[in-house]
Amino acid sequence: MRVKCVICDKIESIKDESFQAKRLRNRPIHTFMCKVCEDRITERTNARIATGNFQLYRSKTEEDEW
Ligand SMILES: [Zn+2]
């Protein structure tokens, strides 16, 4: 099946029987991320955790309170 990366719009083809294909069939197609973008985000997340600046969604909720 053909899927589009939500970050860079790259079209990739994945095996129909792969875990990723099964997951995408149960979820909206826009959750797909290509390997490059996935790696980049993982790297960035790990870097943020390493520097101690990683914040959970909790801080966002606090900002949204009126
Ligand atoms: Zn991508």
pLDDT of residue 40: 93
Tokens 């970050």 belong to which residue?
7
pLDDT of residue 58: 61
Q: 4 C-alpha vs ligand 1 centroid, how far in Å?
A: 8
Non-local (6+) Cβ contacts of 20 within 8 A are: 14, 32
Interatomic CA distance for residues 65 and 57, integer angstroms: 13
Q: Which residues surround ligand 1, an ion (CB under 5 A)?
A: 5, 7-8, 10, 34, 37
Q: 59 C-alpha vs ligand 1 centroid, how far in Å?
A: 28
Does position 8 have pLDDT exceeding 90, yes or no?
A: yes
Tokens 């939500």 belong to which residue?
6
pLDDT of residue 57: 57
Q: 62 C-alpha vs ligand 1 centroid, how far in Å?
A: 31
pLDDT of residue 24: 81
